[in-house]
Structure 1
Amino acid sequence: MLVEETADDSERRARSGRAADARSPPSGGTRVRVRLSHPVCCARQSTDVPRRQAVRDAREFGFHTRAAQSHLDGKKVDRPLSVPIVQSTTHQVASSREMGTLFRNRADIIYTRFGNPTNTAAEEKIAALEGAEAGLIFGSGMGAIVTALLTVLKGGDHVVAQRDIFAQTFTFLDRVARPLGVETTFVDATRPDEVRGALRPNTKLIYIESPSNPLLKIVDIAAIADLARPRGLPLFIDSTFASPYLQNPISLGATLVLHSATKFLGGHSDIQCGAAAGPRDLVRRIYEMRAVLGTIQDPHNAWLLLRGMKTLGVRVQRQCETALRLAQFLQGQPGVRAVHYPWLETSPYHALARRQMRAAGGVLSFDVQGGLPAARAFLDALELIPIATSLGGVETLIEIPAELDFNEDEMGAEVAKTGLTPALIRLSVGLEDVDDLLGDLKRGLAALSP
């Protein structure tokens, strides 16, 4: 979270050894100057180097460098390479006057519900990777989504939302926000004309997800942004399936990018976290709502998130390569009706995905013949791939979405309009050897044989 500093605050930061830094998005994204500061545990000037320091511009570096390095300011000081965990809920200050100043400026060294230095480092890293002015992290992906939505919506407002969004996001808009007076029209956002036709005078937000869960539909972000911008409407996008490595929606016109950082950003199936990145003024408003709702993140989880983001690019690149191999293999198999993966040339979203993404991601889905019983038989025949929900981790996971969120109990009649069937299987690809994964999928396919 970026906050304005007073002179007293700047002096305090100098005393505590906090360092300024800068980050910028992956190549192809908007270049935005971002201040990255975090505790460095008694950082001090090395006596072995000249005192004059040339601060580097982070925009000189590629995505992997910016993800891996904690410090890109070029300063020669003694400090830890890994951002320390500030595992404290409250902080001692020098005076009552300073406490008041810190509270008014929402500093991250007063009380953890308002901020924490470890959390700040993770937030600024996410903002930098997305090419945003500011970022926030939350206790979960739904914490990020709900907090952001409650920040911009009130009774009497109208939302145009993509129909096949994450099931709990659909549930919030349909069953929680609607009784509060916020009406949502769900549309096929892959058709910009359908989005345009749903707009009303009281529309206050357009909400999309790309790639979508679990059918991997791709929305033309720039085209939807062109509808939102002239009307002064914010465009929120859940970009979880892409991660900042594959897609930077702000450079395409989106207002706010949301992530379940539990997934690819964390990458190890050991934290639950949400993230938001966007313009400083909007992020500040979401920050205030987060403080009221308490949808905050724990500093230790923030450190694990920082650890995960260091390898984001290399992990996702391998996951994309393996996912494409598996999708190509499944596409020609008896018993498989359809494979959903945007990098396949047969995908209706292939050209658009190649235009706005760097690769298609580490998740694919496929329909099997024989309905839900056949899908269950496929999963039960596997020996290597665990049956488990979630995605984006180093382990390959498999699930049947209709057994979980994507069914009539959760989404009502709208689920039938998404094209999702009970026989759909979702596969989140990890880092295993591709031949081992292919061998396990063959076991599943054998279970489909009559």
Structure 2
Amino acid sequence: MAKESSNWGLSTRCVHAGTFEDTMAGGVNTPIFASSAFQVPGPTGRVVYPRYQNIPGQVAVAQKIAALENAQAGIVVSSGMAAISSIFLAFCQTGDHVVLQSDLYGGTLGLAQRDLPRRGIDVSWVDSHRIEEFEAALRPKTRLIYVETPSNPLMKILDLEALARMAQARGVLTVVDNTFATPINQNPLDLGIDIVVHSGTKYLNGHSDLCCGALACRSTLMETIAPVISLYGPSLSPYDCFLLERGLKTLALRMARHNQNAMAVASYLAQDSRVARVYYPGLTDHPKHAIAARQMRGFGGMLSFEPKGNAETAHRVMERFTLFKPAVSLGGVESLACFPVETSHASVPPNQREKMGIRDNLIRLSVGIEDTEDLLKDLDRALQATV
């Protein structure tokens, strides 16, 4: 992170951090360097090549994300799963052991269940969000602990400071998927976590028109991660870097509205007699609300709820939505709704989903930036299907 960025507020970092200075035309935006061939020797004295993640557009957006996460270094890749898998490829080898929170994004679960064992990497799952349970799962060859908070899709909260303190004492790396919270609402590195990962497809971009991922950490760890990413080649194109940087400039503004709308939606659903359960860390009756309030600046735009009735009832609710579009993904300016059992966790066996608490009538909402009253009216109209 550039020295001047550390003194800026989050909104200023969103706009200015990392921006490449256009000395030729004086443009205020980072130019698109649409080239796969760069002269040698070049102005920097380094070999510049897209797969090495060092063309100006890639560097600019990585520096912006690093600044927002209070990290020494950042890097961007072609998807969130490319970022996640790069961590395991960089730090784990045959015979190593990793500890994972059991209620993770379905893609991460698939990676850990199918690919890591094939590579000879042992995986332990922790169902609880108690730090003692994570500590009990550690072994002499444990390399890292991987978690999400808030988790997908039940918005469970983990005490990151306590986790980092325990792991550091045991010499184990900690990795947090910060996609749901975003660096506007939560900075895990400030709490002692080693590596932060994002599906930049979601809030960082914010406009549902780009697939990308990002990592942020201290420089010594990036020295291990970057060569692996260069070797496997999940590079982000110059055009996608431009889109990502453009989206990041409004991240703080967008998140303020996402936070506001999601809190209003969660509060509305929590008081509605047609709703059985609501999962949102901003609600005071959330079991880990106090921890969320301590480690987050806002509670995010994601929540889940279960309308009263069965899966068929929930599908009727979904069919009555107008503003909440039934769609995969999240974090865009528009409001979306989905069934986790049919989307993010479709590959998870039903008995495992049930054990995780992901029921067939669970609806996950990505609350957008529309007018709050319009969203509440849409919910009221949809929930009439439960009567």
> What is the aligned partner in structure 2 of residue 379 from structure 1?
318
- Say which structure, 1 or 2, has more relative contact order (CA 8 Å, 6+ apart): 2
Report which of the two structures shows the higher radius of gyration computed on alpha carbons: 1
Distance 1:216 1:71 in 2: 32
Q: 1:189 to 1:290 in 2, by over 3 A?
A: farther
> What is the aligned partner in structure 2 of residue 92 from structure 1?
39
> What is the aligned partner in structure 1 of residue 360 from structure 2?
422
Shift of 1:350: 0.9
Contact 2:5 2:17 in 1 (8 A): no
Distance 1:226 1:71 in 2: 31
Give the fraction of aligned pairs with identical amino acids, expressed as a percent: 40
Distance 1:230 1:222 in 2: 12
Please show how residues 222-241 of structure 1 align to structure 2 within 5 Å.
222-241=161-180
Contact 1:66 1:72 in 2 (8 A): no
Q: 1:70 to 1:83 in 2, by over 3 A?
A: farther
> What is the aligned partner in structure 2 of residue 61 from structure 1?
8
Shift of 1:59: 3.2
> What is the aligned partner in structure 2 of residue 259 from structure 1?
198
- Which of 61, 64, 72 is equivalent to 1:125? 64
State the TM-score, normalized to the length of structure 1. 0.82
Distance 2:375 2:206 in 1: 19
Shift of 1:292: 1.2
* 1:167 lines up with 2:98 in the alignment: no
**For structure 1, which segment, 411-420 or 225-234, has the greater mean C-alpha deviation from structure 2 after superposition?**
411-420
- Which of 84, 87, 91 is equivalent to 1:152? 91
Please show how residues 151-300 of structure 1 align to structure 2 within 5 Å.
151-300=90-239
Distance 2:18 2:231 in 1: 32
**For structure 1, which segment, 381-390 or 156-165, has the greater mean C-alpha deviation from structure 2 after superposition?**
381-390
**For structure 1, which segment, 381-390 or 313-322, has the greater mean C-alpha deviation from structure 2 after superposition?**
381-390
Task: Give the aligned length.
Answer: 386
* 1:440 lines up with 2:387 in the alignment: no
- Which of 20, 26, 51 is equivalent to 1:79? 26
CA RMSD of aligned residues (A): 2.1
Shift of 1:283: 1.1
Distance 1:131 1:73 in 2: 19
- Which of 329, 339, 347 is equivalent to 2:278? 339
Please show how residues 18-29 of structure 1 align to structure 2 within 5 Å.
23=2
State the TM-score, normalized to the length of structure 2. 0.95
- The code of the aligned residue for 1:378 comes to V
* 1:303 lines up with 2:224 in the alignment: no
Distance 2:335 2:22 in 1: 40
Shift of 1:417: 2.5
**For structure 1, which segment, 337-346 or 326-335, has the greater mean C-alpha deviation from structure 2 after superposition?**
326-335
Q: 1:72 to 1:82 in 2, by over 3 A?
A: closer
Shift of 1:112: 1.0
Distance 1:373 1:75 in 2: 56
Shift of 1:86: 0.5
Stretches (4+) displaced over 2 A: 57-61, 69-79, 409-417
Please show how residues 403-414 of structure 1 align to structure 2 within 5 Å.
403-407=342-346, 409-411=347-349, 413-414=351-352
Q: 1:413 to 1:152 in 2, by over 3 A?
A: farther
Deviations along 1:304-331, whole A, 9 cap, x unmatched? 1110111100100111001000111111
Shift of 1:442: 1.0
Distance 2:328 2:20 in 1: 40
Structure 1: gaps spanning 5 or more residues: 1-21, 24-32, 34-56, 104-109
Shift of 1:302: 0.7
Distance 1:310 1:132 in 2: 18
* 1:356 lines up with 2:295 in the alignment: yes
> What is the aligned partner in structure 2 of residue 102 from structure 1?
46
Distance 2:22 2:339 in 1: 50
